[in-house]
């Protein structure tokens, strides 16, 4: 049959195959191929890609055009479809023998502009993982402006769309821009992959296996699994970049990481190890991130150094009771080779650098990581967790790259020893939230309304940094927009919103009985609650039909949408279910604790002491004591297993606190006796108070002359969050009444906006002012805003390394000015520029008791220093000013010197690393000349020459009060240093 006729006859099928996923990706890939083959002109392309046109209409337009262009174009179009569509979808299309393989267009084109056209599909693939770098190269070479970059990186574009827009822009800029981009890609390749460069092809059987594996990986990863029960959402359409950072400082890596950097060499701390850990809280998007990586690999759009990718879920590995070898693990749990299993496995063993394993959710494995039990032989059977631990350590399959995800609680020092690097997934950035909401709502007016409502409720906005909460909020937009003033404040509020949403929307009953929505569905909630509760006690997240039956879960309960069918490895197994998300399971467990009459009295106290459970090594058995004795016998628990359920118990406890909040009590009114409820409330309040006291008891006595300081122990922030969920100031006040410290240190405590909201809620009840040290967290601007309610109780605020921008500072200082106690601020290593200095200037002018400003390692220039100087001129109190590692230069130093010349309070000034030369130093010498208070001035790492130092020496001769002037690393010879040290001993070189 002629190709033309095939295109016509199969029109419906082709349209369906291209568009049914809702994602434009397939159509765009076909367009890329047709453009590169010269079958479409630019005009054709633009006529198809008309903005605002629906996907189906664009595809129809393409088919019309291809048909009118004749048989050759149709033949190539069919070949393109064959290449782009996954096998599963391609089978329903017939391509005929006239559809031959696509020709690789030669690279010997005359111009670079031609090359970017003929190599378009290839270049789109290559650019996806490095858009930032490519844009950088184009900006540096002067071809792109920031407007061009913004247009390319519109948040609604997927990475491949960004790559296409980038190429389109490059094309419009002409030959030299095309040259820059080709060179950039070439360099990128040279520095990156050692693979694929040799002209070497793997054996045919391996390639066949790869095809099968990648089409299975693609099929499993193209939809977001958690939407399975409710609606289909294509990953391409909804995926939003999360914030990825290295867990440790690394000199070579600046700024956020891209997806491909996870497996790349960047930030490696242990070259011997093969395992990368991606660490993030529940709901931060770890599984989704892996899913994205899987999909990009399967499509050939990323990780192309790896020929075979084997994805594993620890949750599913838990259900594997048999002992097996690595070979069985790979083939049975991921993809079965139709032929030549031995040959394929041998290939895997021989080429470890071409293989990638991913293990999602190490925290969900029943056993904690240990490196005691060694297995080195890939054909030796062992329990699955033992295999997994040996793979992670590299005693099995050394050289194979492994990416493991986990919640932080499950990562101990033994595991860390075996990691080549650790990457932190921090959820969505503020622009990520914006982007996600826009992607989630195809109607832009709805998206705008949701975003607007988030802007007016910053506590909720803070919660939306967690992707799972962002999803719930987007999903429940009707409830959100309808609730006006009473919009959700706490995590419990958000989960109650989705509970109501699902119960009312999925149920056919739709409140026919006139009861409250919860009362109407109480049975469902209790059935699911029991399932969740028992599951958490037994580290069980996948449930069989029997499990469901035992808890009374019916078909109707399943239909509510909280349970989804588990994607099982071996399709022969009967149906298994899991909760939409582990946090949903914790929420149902909490509902059960609150609503059930069958709960043991000790359940709540034990729930609030999970740390204790872990410490005693009793783990699950202890929690099992909370379960009715009949249930205990059913829970399988091998002796020696130390389950990883503590974080889930903590999440469940947080929900229990929230559910028992006064605000929600009317909801339970007709669901259980109020006396029972009151008792549970009292129990929780007692647990929280006791928990807090335990922390306070650990505070050591103050060393004489020093302030009494408390460093938060594990569990402190969690208790604070529980108190916040209760939203009862009586409880917060009670908890804080016993805390008597001068300094509260919460460094490296994973404090983000959500934690800031809770902290501010609780700390505002402190009796005496404290120094609040939140260094090295991820507070960000939203978190800063959340802290405002407790600013009046903070005398100093330390926010070093917290991703704060000028906007956050604007809000912080506007509030700080009104707070009598507020005297000191430290903001080392944030994202501050000259736009924040006017606010500091205003603070200095207004608050004549402010003592210390430290702004090191930001991006403040001469302009910023001049603004600061305006404030300093009128200030009579500042003692410490730190500007280490900015770029104020001579002019900035002169402005500051002029302002500080007559200061009677300045004790310490640091301008280390600020490109200050002798002009600046001579100006600063005037401060020394006149000051009666100055003790130290730091000028290390500048470019001061002899002239500058002479000025400083002369000034020092007039000042006996100054103790030292630090001048290491300036423009001075050894002889000069020697001579000047002789002349003035207070100079330190
Ligand atoms: P984790 O594995 O860290 O617990 P998940 O990956 O399961 O978190 O994410 C929970 C939910 O949040 C997902 O089902 C999805 O709805 C949403 N989500 C997470 N990450 C993303 C992302 N990058 N883009 C879009 N949605 C996301």
DSSP label at residue 963: -
Assess whether the C-beta atom of 436 lies below 6 angstroms from ligand 1. yes
Band the pLDDT of 631: cuts 50, 70, 90.
Answer: very low
Spatial neighbors of 179 by CB under 8 A, at least 6 apart, are 112
Band the pLDDT of 626: cuts 50, 70, 90.
Answer: very low
Assess whether the C-beta atom of 433 lies below 6 angstroms from ligand 1. no
Assess whether the C-beta atom of 242 lies below 6 angstroms from ligand 1. yes
DSSP label at residue 250: -
Pair of tokens at residue 568: 């099982």
450 C-alpha to ligand 1 centroid (Å): 19
285 C-alpha to ligand 1 centroid (Å): 4
427 C-alpha to ligand 1 centroid (Å): 9
Nearest atom, ligand 1, residue 580 CA: 14
Q: Region 76-102: what's the mean pLDDT?
A: 68
DSSP label at residue 368: P
Nearest atom, ligand 1, residue 360 CA: 2
Q: Region 953-975: what's the mean pLDDT?
A: 95
Assess whether the C-beta atom of 287 lies below 6 angstroms from ligand 1. yes
Atom 19 of ligand 1, nearest CA residue: 285
Pair of tokens at residue 883: 């500007």
Assess whether the C-beta atom of 471 lies below 6 angstroms from ligand 1. yes
Nearest atom, ligand 1, residue 282 CA: 4
Atom 14 of ligand 1, nearest CA residue: 226
CA atoms within 13 A on the CB side of 464: 30
Picking from 440, 26, 14, the residue whose alpha carbon sits closest to that of residue 222 is: 26
pLDDT at site 709: 81
Atom 12 of ligand 1, nearest CA residue: 468
233 C-alpha to ligand 1 centroid (Å): 12
Q: Is 832 exposed, middle or buried (0-12, 13-18, 19+ CB in 10 A)?
A: buried
502 C-alpha to ligand 1 centroid (Å): 19
Mutate to test the pocket of ligand 1, among 284, 285, 294, 359 (most ligand atoms within 8 A of CB): 285
Nearest atom, ligand 1, residue 291 CA: 6
pLDDT in tens, 205-245: 899 999 999 988 988 888 886 544 556 678 988 999 999 98
797 DSSP β-pair partners: 772, 825
Q: What percent of the chain is modeled with pLDDT above 90? A: 47
Q: Is the pLDDT of residue 614 over 70?
A: no
Q: Region 822-838: what's the mean pLDDT?
A: 97
d(CA 801, CA 807): 16
Please tell me which residue, 459 or 772, carries the higher pLDDT value. 772
280 C-alpha to ligand 1 centroid (Å): 11
232 C-alpha to ligand 1 centroid (Å): 14
Q: Is the pLDDT of residue 892 over 90?
A: yes
pLDDT in tens, 835-874: 999 999 999 999 999 999 999 999 999 999 999 999 999 9
Q: Is 445 exposed, middle or buried (0-12, 13-18, 19+ CB in 10 A)?
A: exposed
Helices (H) and strands (E) in the chain — how many of each? 50, 22
pLDDT in tens, 592-601: 999 998 888 8
Torsion of CA 349, 350, 351, 356, to 10 degrees: 0
Assess whether the C-beta atom of 426 lies below 6 angstroms from ligand 1. no
d(CA 580, CA 561): 8
Nearest atom, ligand 1, residue 280 CA: 3
d(CA 304, CA 302): 5
Q: Is the pLDDT of residue 196 over 50?
A: no
Nearest atom, ligand 1, residue 238 CA: 25
Q: Region 617-643: what's the mean pLDDT?
A: 37
Assess whether the C-beta atom of 226 lies below 6 angstroms from ligand 1. yes
Pair of tokens at residue 448: 């705008």
Chain centroid to CA 75: how far?
44
472 C-alpha to ligand 1 centroid (Å): 11
Picking from 408, 436, 466, the residue whose alpha carbon sits closest to that of residue 283 is: 466
287 C-alpha to ligand 1 centroid (Å): 6
Long-range contacts of 456-459 (CB under 8 A, 24+ apart): 457/487, 457/488, 457/489, 458/782, 458/785, 458/786, 459/489, 459/490, 459/757, 459/786
pLDDT at site 92: 55
Q: Is the pLDDT of residue 466 over 50?
A: yes
Pair of tokens at residue 680: 């549970």
Please tell me which residue, 17 or 119, carries the higher pLDDT value. 119
d(CA 625, CA 636): 14
Q: Is the pLDDT of residue 651 over 90?
A: yes
pLDDT at site 387: 93
A 10 A CB-CB count for 71 gives 14
407 C-alpha to ligand 1 centroid (Å): 13
Mutate to test the pocket of ligand 1, among 155, 283, 587 (most ligand atoms within 8 A of CB): 283
A 10 A CB-CB count for 628 gives 12
Assess whether the C-beta atom of 224 lies below 6 angstroms from ligand 1. yes
Band the pLDDT of 279: cuts 50, 70, 90.
Answer: very high
Atom 25 of ligand 1, nearest CA residue: 239
Spatial neighbors of 807 by CB under 8 A, at least 6 apart, are 781
Assess whether the C-beta atom of 440 lies below 6 angstroms from ligand 1. no
Q: Region 955-971: what's the mean pLDDT?
A: 95
Q: Is the pLDDT of residue 68 over 70?
A: yes
Pair of tokens at residue 453: 């409502």
419 C-alpha to ligand 1 centroid (Å): 24
Mean pLDDT value across the chain: 86
Q: Is the pLDDT of residue 940 over 90?
A: yes
Mutate to test the pocket of ligand 1, among 236, 280, 363, 468 (most ligand atoms within 8 A of CB): 468
Picking from 72, 58, 47, 50, the residue whose alpha carbon sits closest to that of residue 24 is: 58
Assess whether the C-beta atom of 647 lies below 6 angstroms from ligand 1. no
Atom 11 of ligand 1, nearest CA residue: 468
Assess whether the C-beta atom of 308 lies below 6 angstroms from ligand 1. no
d(CA 189, CA 192): 5
**Burial track 194-225 (b if 16+ CB lie within 10 A, e otherwise):** eeeeeeeeeeebbeebbeebbbbbbbbbbbbb
Mutate to test the pocket of ligand 1, among 315, 467, 585, 651 (most ligand atoms within 8 A of CB): 467
Q: What percent of the chain is modeled with pLDDT above 70? A: 89
pLDDT at site 193: 47
Nearest atom, ligand 1, residue 407 CA: 3
Pair of tokens at residue 477: 């937009």
Torsion of CA 169, 170, 175, 179, to 10 degrees: 180
pLDDT at site 605: 92
pLDDT at site 639: 32
Q: Is 362 exposed, middle or buried (0-12, 13-18, 19+ CB in 10 A)?
A: buried
H helix or E strand, kind and range, residue 649: helix 646-659
Mutate to test the pocket of ligand 1, among 158, 230, 262, 288 (most ligand atoms within 8 A of CB): 288
d(CA 385, CA 193): 32
401 DSSP β-pair partners: 356
pLDDT at site 640: 33
Assess whether the C-beta atom of 402 lies below 6 angstroms from ligand 1. no
646 C-alpha to ligand 1 centroid (Å): 21
Band the pLDDT of 590: cuts 50, 70, 90.
Answer: very high
d(CA 46, CA 485): 46
pLDDT in tens, 700-741: 776 777 777 888 877 899 999 999 999 998 999 988 888 888
Pair of tokens at residue 41: 């002109």
**Burial track 87-112 (b if 16+ CB lie within 10 A, e otherwise):** eebbeebebeebbeeeeebeeeeeeb
d(CA 241, CA 713): 32
Do residues 829 and 857 make contact, with C-beta atoms less than 8 angstroms apart? yes
Assess whether the C-beta atom of 581 lies below 6 angstroms from ligand 1. yes
Do residues 935 and 908 make contact, with C-beta atoms less than 8 angstroms apart? yes
Q: Work out whether the CA dihedral 130, 131, 137, 140 comes out positive or negative.
A: negative
Q: Region 364-372: what's the mean pLDDT?
A: 87
Atom 23 of ligand 1, nearest CA residue: 240
d(CA 392, CA 823): 49
Q: Is 751 exposed, middle or buried (0-12, 13-18, 19+ CB in 10 A)?
A: buried
243 C-alpha to ligand 1 centroid (Å): 12
Assess whether the C-beta atom of 362 lies below 6 angstroms from ligand 1. no
3-state helix, strand, coil in the chain (%, to 5): 55, 10, 40
Atom 15 of ligand 1, nearest CA residue: 468
pLDDT in tens, 114-140: 888 888 988 888 887 788 888 988 988
A 10 A CB-CB count for 313 gives 24
Do residues 361 and 313 make contact, with C-beta atoms less than 8 angstroms apart? yes
pLDDT at site 641: 39
d(CA 639, CA 913): 59
Phi, psi for residue 797 in degrees, rounded to 5: -130, 120
pLDDT at site 622: 36
Assess whether the C-beta atom of 229 lies below 6 angstroms from ligand 1. no
Nearest atom, ligand 1, residue 439 CA: 25
Out of 176-190, 520-534, 876-890, least confident range: 176-190
Q: Is the pLDDT of residue 973 over 80?
A: yes
Picking from 961, 965, 958, 960, the residue whose alpha carbon sits closest to that of residue 939 is: 965
H helix intervals, 120-202: 120-127, 131-140, 146-152, 159-173, 175-191
Do residues 797 and 759 make contact, with C-beta atoms less than 8 angstroms apart? no
pLDDT in tens, 804-820: 999 999 999 999 999 99
865 C-alpha to ligand 1 centroid (Å): 43
Please tell me which residue, 191 or 949, carries the higher pLDDT value. 949
pLDDT in tens, 393-409: 988 888 899 999 999 88
Chain centroid to CA 645: how far?
22
Picking from 777, 700, 775, the residue whose alpha carbon sits closest to that of residue 740 is: 700
Q: Is the pLDDT of residue 391 over 90?
A: yes
137 DSSP β-pair partners: none
* DSSP codes joined into one string, 32-72: HHHHHTTSS-HHHHHHHS-TT--HHHHHHHHHHHHHHH-HH
């Amino acid at each position: 049959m002629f190709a033309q006729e095939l295109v016509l006859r199969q029109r419906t099928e082709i349209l369906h195959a291209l568009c049914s996923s809702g994602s434009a990706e397939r159509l765009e890939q076909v367009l890329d191929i047709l453009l590169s083959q010269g079958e479409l002109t630019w005009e054709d392309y633009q006529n198809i890609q008309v903005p605002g046109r629906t996907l189906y209409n664009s595809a129809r337009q393409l088919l019309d055009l291809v048909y009118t262009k004749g048989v050759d174009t149709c033949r190539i179009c069919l070949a393109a479809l064959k290449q782009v569509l996954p096998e599963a979808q391609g089978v329903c299309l017939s391509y005929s023998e006239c559809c031959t393989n696509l020709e690789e267009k030669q690279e010997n084109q005359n111009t670079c502009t031609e090359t970017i056209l003929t190599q378009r599909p290839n270049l789109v693939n290559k650019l996806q993982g490095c858009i930032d770098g490519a844009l950088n190269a184009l900006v540096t070479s002067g071809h792109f402006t920031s407007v061009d970059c913004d247009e390319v990186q519109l948040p609604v574009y997927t990475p491949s769309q960004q790559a296409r827009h980038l190429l389109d822009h490059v094309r419009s800029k002409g030959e030299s821009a095309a040259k820059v981009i080709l060179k950039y890609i070439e360099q990128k390749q040279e520095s990156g992959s050692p693979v694929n460069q040799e002209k070497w092809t793997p054996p045919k059987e391996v390639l066949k296996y790869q095809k099968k594996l990648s089409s299975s990986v693609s099929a499993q990863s193209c939809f977001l699994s958690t939407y399975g029960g409710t609606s289909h959402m294509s990953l391409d359409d909804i995926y939003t970049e999360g914030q990825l950072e290295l867990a440790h400082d690394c000199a070579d890596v600046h700024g956020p990481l891209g997806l491909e950097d996870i497996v790349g060499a960047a930030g490696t701390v242990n070259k011997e190890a093969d395992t990368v850990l991606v660490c993030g809280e529940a709901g931060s998007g770890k599984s989704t991130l892996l899913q994205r990586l899987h999909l990009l690999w399967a499509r050939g759009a990323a990780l192309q150094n790896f020929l075979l990718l084997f994805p594993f879920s620890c949750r599913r590995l838990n259900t594997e009771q048999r002992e097996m070898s690595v070979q069985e693990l790979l083939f049975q749990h991921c993809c079965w080779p139709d032929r030549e299993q031995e040959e394929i496995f041998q290939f895997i063993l021989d080429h470890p650098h071409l293989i990638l394993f991913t293990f999602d959710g190490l925290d969900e494995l029943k056993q904690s990581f240990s490196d005691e039990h060694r297995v080195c032989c890939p054909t030796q059977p062992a329990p699955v967790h033992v295999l997994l631990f040996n793979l992670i350590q590299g005693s099995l399959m050394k050289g194979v790259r492994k990416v493991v995800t986990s919640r932080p609680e499950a990562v101990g020092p033994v595991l860390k020893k075996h990691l080549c690097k650790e990457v932190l997934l921090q959820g969505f950035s503020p622009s990520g939230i914006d982007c996600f909401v826009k992607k989630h709502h195809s109607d832009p007016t709805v998206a705008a309304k949701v975003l607007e409502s988030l802007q007016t409720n910053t506590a909720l906005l803070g919660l939306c940094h967690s992707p799972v909460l962002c999803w719930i909020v987007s999903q429940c937009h009707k409830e959100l927009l309808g609730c006006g003033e009473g919009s959700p404040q706490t995590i419990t509020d958000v989960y109650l919103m989705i509970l109501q949403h699902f119960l009312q929307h999925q149920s056919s009953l739709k409140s026919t009985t006139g009861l409250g929505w919860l009362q109407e569905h109480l049975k469902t909630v209790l059935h699911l609650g029991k399932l969740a509760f028992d599951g958490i006690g037994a580290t069980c997240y996948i449930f069989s039909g029997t499990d469901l039956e035992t808890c009374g879960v019916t078909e109707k309960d399943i239909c509510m949408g909280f349970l989804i069918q588990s994607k099982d490895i071996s399709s022969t197994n009967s149906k298994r279910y899991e909760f939409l998300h582990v946090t949903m399971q914790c929420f149902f467990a909490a509902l059960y604790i609150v609503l059930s009459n069958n709960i043991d009295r000790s359940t709540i106290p034990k729930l609030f002491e999970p740390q204790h459970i872990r410490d005693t090594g009793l783990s699950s058995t202890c929690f099992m004591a909370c379960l009715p004795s009949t249930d205990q016998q059913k829970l399988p628990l091998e002796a020696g297993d130390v389950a990883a359920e503590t974080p889930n118990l903590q999440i469940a406890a947080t929900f229990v606190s929230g559910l028992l909040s006064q605000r929600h009590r009317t909801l339970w009114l007709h669901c259980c006796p109020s006396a029972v409820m009151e008792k549970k409330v009292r129990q929780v309040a007692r647990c929280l108070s006791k928990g807090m006291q335990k922390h306070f008891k650990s505070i050591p006595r103050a060393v004489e002359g020093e302030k009494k300081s408390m460093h938060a122990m594990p569990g402190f922030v969690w208790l604070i969050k529980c108190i916040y969920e209760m939203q009862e100031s009586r409880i917060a006040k009670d908890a804080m009444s016993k805390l008597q410290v001068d300094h509260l240190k919460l460094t490296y405590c994973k404090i983000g906006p959500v934690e800031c909201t809770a902290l501010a809620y609780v700390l505002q009840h402190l009796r005496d002012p404290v120094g609040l040290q939140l260094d090295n967290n991820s507070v960000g601007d939203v978190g800063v805003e959340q802290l405002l309610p407790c600013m009046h109780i903070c005398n100093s605020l330390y926010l070093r390394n917290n991703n704060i921008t000028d906007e956050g500072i604007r809000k912080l200082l506007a509030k700080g000015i009104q707070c009598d106690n507020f005297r000191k601020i430290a903001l080392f290593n944030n994202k501050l520029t000259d736009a924040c200095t006017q606010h500091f200037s205003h603070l200095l002018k207004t608050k004549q008791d402010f003592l210390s400003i430290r702004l090191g390692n930001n991006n403040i220039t001469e302009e910023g220093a001049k603004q600061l100087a305006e404030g300093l001129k009128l200030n009579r109190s500042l003692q410490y000013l730190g500007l280490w590692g900015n770029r104020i230069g001579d002019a900035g130093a002169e402005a500051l010197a002029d302002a500080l010349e007559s200061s009677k309070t300045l004790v310490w000034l640091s301008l280390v690393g600020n490109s200050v030369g002798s002009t600046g130093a001579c100006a600063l010498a005037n401060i020394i000349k006149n000051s009666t208070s100055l003790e130290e001035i730091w000028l290390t790492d500048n470019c001061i020459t002899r002239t500058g130092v002479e000025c400083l020496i002369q000034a020092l001769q007039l000042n006996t009060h100054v103790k030292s002037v630090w001048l290491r690393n300036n423009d001075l010879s050894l002889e000069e240093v020697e001579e000047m040290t002789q002349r003035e001993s207070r100079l330190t070189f």
